[in-house]
Chain A
Amino acid sequence: MSSESLRIVWIYPDLLSTYGDRGNALILARRARQRGMPVEVLEVRSDQRLPATADIYLVGGGEDGPQALGAQRLLADGGLHRAVAQGSVVFGVCAGYQLLGTSFFAKGVQCRGLELLDLQSDRGESRAVGELAGEIDPRLGLPPLTGFENHGGRTHLGPEVSPLARVTAGVGNDGATEGAWRGKLLGTYSHGPALARNPALADLLLRWATGAHQLPPLDDTWSDRLRNERRSAVAAARA
């Protein structure tokens, strides 16, 4: 951690907050506080400078226009690149995931991404809308991914990143893989929000940020019930 408290930055809630993205910040902060960590959550709007010294950066979902604008402003600001160089954690969702790559499409135009992850996104033939599930990269040691996706993009991974998960339901990147990660950067198409439906993923980000190998377990009764219910719903839809 960079200081006595865990600093979480929610990037551009004025532009990139379309699918309950605030939830990811709330879940991270709560799970950290429940472990006794002091937490500071900063909401940085797109007309403000991005601090480069936070521990975790969250980039949420957005419509085409705000996505393109968000990427432009992040490129001009440079704060996120400096933070990544210093080892900060970045978690991107949907539009926020795509813009971490080298390029993406918004309103039919190819836009330059932040080039933090070796991936590029283009348009699929149809919009991917519905439940998304997958088996997460075993090296991350997490239970299956569950979420809801809603995007028109298809994402192609380069050799420098690994897929976050192998898709078992839904589309994700391309119908086979979903999301991507490298070092302490991780992106996914899952909403729900993702960290509400995947508390173990929230804990992974907290471990990356704090350097802790393990965190004390929490009471996840309701998340577990939600995860089981969603898994049954996906299985029932397939049967």
Chain B
Amino acid sequence: MPLRAKVASSVSRTAAALSRAAGRGDGSVIGGWIGLKIDPDLLAHLSAGRAIALVSGTNGKTTTTRLTSAAVGVLGRVATNSFGANMPSGHTSALAKAGSTPYAVLEVDEHYLAQVLEATEPHVVALLNLSRDQLDRAKEVAMMAQLWRAALVRHTDVRVVANADDPLVVWAATPPGDPARGIKPPHVTWFSAGQRWHDDSWVCPECGSTIQRSGEQWWCTGCPLRRPEPHWVVEDEGVLDPTGAWHKVSLQLPGKVNLGNAATALAVAAEFGVRPVDAVSRLGIVTSVAGRYAQVDKDGRNIRLLLAKNPASWLEAFDMADDAPTLLSINARDPDGLDTSWLYDVDFAPLRGRQVLITGDRAYDLAVRLDVNDVPFQHVRTFDDALRSVPPGRLEVIANYTAFQDIRAELDRVI
């Protein structure tokens, strides 16, 4: 490593430690930010010599990154950005902190995928899904797919692990090669994890025609784009690998969506040579991911935290949640997106028949939404009020990003 990179890396670690000691954060961003100021190529220097996997998509990237790290851990030490700090400063911090490791699994914000591909030259990139998220500041969904596709054209040597069920991902993962210049399209391994949300992919990203769906199949009515045959498939409580062998997956994380994340993790690990039979038991050690799915016992209530940031992840959260009293909390601060219109993209009908409580900065937006959805609810001002309003037993908490962090803080920053 060049001297400048060594200094930057060392300063980066010190700043992260200071940030943690001062109680100002978990140090997962600030150290990397300072390091990159000293050496803009620090991320590239820290990546050199490691076999790296990147994990990107709108939803599930933090959890999939955690599961993938567990699976790749079969081979040796893995550096990872486990607190969801998923921009280059977070990657830099994570790699500097981990020291020398043979492997790294990095969660990447979908907007930064091109830049991080460039800096880290990964062995594998996992593309999970693309759907609407924070439209007041994020790129439009189709534009995001276009950016991914353009980035992969420049990195045709990377091995891609991608979701066969998401038309935008399939299109992004299959840029045309250029035989005249000897450029082959990237090698893609497809997984099928199911996709509950379809409302961003009715129109073909290639030709603008309508996309038809029947069961798990989808195809464009105007061009050859269609669902590729997946190599890795979720089946019952397990995963079918490309050889046709079925592996039972016992997760401590709820929901079918996490079985899909587990299939993805096994597929990515397989690209490093990890056999699923060796990795599958390690997936069961993951209990919660930066507070997501964490369970806390307080005042006789067993509180479970589910993060839902956008319409697609709300649908998944309803699938995971037990039939139990449920607290919904919505904010619309900068990290959440300022526009709450997306509440109408979510059908809250699955909550009918449950005791529903609402809170958060934007509880009134939620109130109007639930009213139209014929879901009775009770508005509470504080988390403690919510606790007092439900009987002992399970309380499911579903919240968007900053609302989730607020409740996590009430529970002593549970991880």
Give A residues with C-beta under 8 Å from B: 13-15, 17-23, 26-27, 30, 45-47, 63-66, 69, 129-130, 148, 150, 191-193, 196, 222-223, 225-226, 229
Contact = CB atoms under 8 A, between A and B. Distances in A.
Contacts of B136: 129, 148, 150
B300 interface: no
Contacts of B344: 20-23, 26, 193, 196
A196 B340 CA distance: 11
B251 to A, nearest CB: 33
B214 interface: no
A226 B364 contact: yes
Contact of A130 (B142, B143, B338, B341): B338
A148 B343 contact: no
Given A15-B203, A30-B372, A20 B367 contact: no
Max chain A C-beta neighbours (<10 A), residue from B143, B210, B339, B345: B339
- Which of A13, A20, A148 has the most C-beta atoms of chain B within 10 angstroms of its own C-beta? A20
B368 A65 contact: no
Contacts of A13: 199, 202
Nearest to A192: B341
Given A150-B136, A229-B364, A17 B199 contact: yes
A226 to B, nearest CB: 4
A21 to B, nearest CB: 8
Contacts of B368: 196, 222-223, 226
6 contacts: A15-B203, A17-B199, A22-B345, A69-B203, A226-B365, A226-B368
Contacts of A18: 132, 135
A193 to B, nearest CB: 5
A232 to B, nearest CB: 11
Given A65-B142, A193-B344, A196-B344, A225 B339 contact: no
Contacts of A17: 199, 345
A6 B143 CA distance: 38
A28 to B, nearest CB: 10
A196 B341 CA distance: 9
A19 B339 contact: yes
A20 B342 contact: yes
Interface residues of B, number: 30
Nearest to B347: A22
A60 B368 CA distance: 20
A66 B204 CA distance: 11
A222 B345 contact: no
A226 B372 contact: no
A18 B372 CA distance: 19
Contact of B341 (A23, A45, A63, A229): A23
Contacts of B142: 63, 65
Contacts of B202: 13-15, 45
A192 B372 CA distance: 14
Nearest to B311: A20
Nearest to B371: A222
B140 interface: yes
B256 interface: no
Interface string B315-353: 000000000000000000000001111111100000000
Contacts of A27: 372
B123 interface: no
Shortest 4 CB-CB contacts between residues of A and residues of B: A23-B344, A20-B341, A20-B344, A14-B202
Given A130-B338, A226-B367, A19 B135 contact: yes
Contacts of A130: 338
Contacts of B155: none
Given A47-B210, A63-B142, A23 B338 contact: no
A129 B136 CA distance: 7
Given A129-B136, A222-B367, A222-B371, A191 B210 contact: no
Contacts of A26: 344, 372-373
Max chain B C-beta neighbours (<10 A), residue from A18, A46, A66: A18
A17 B342 CA distance: 10
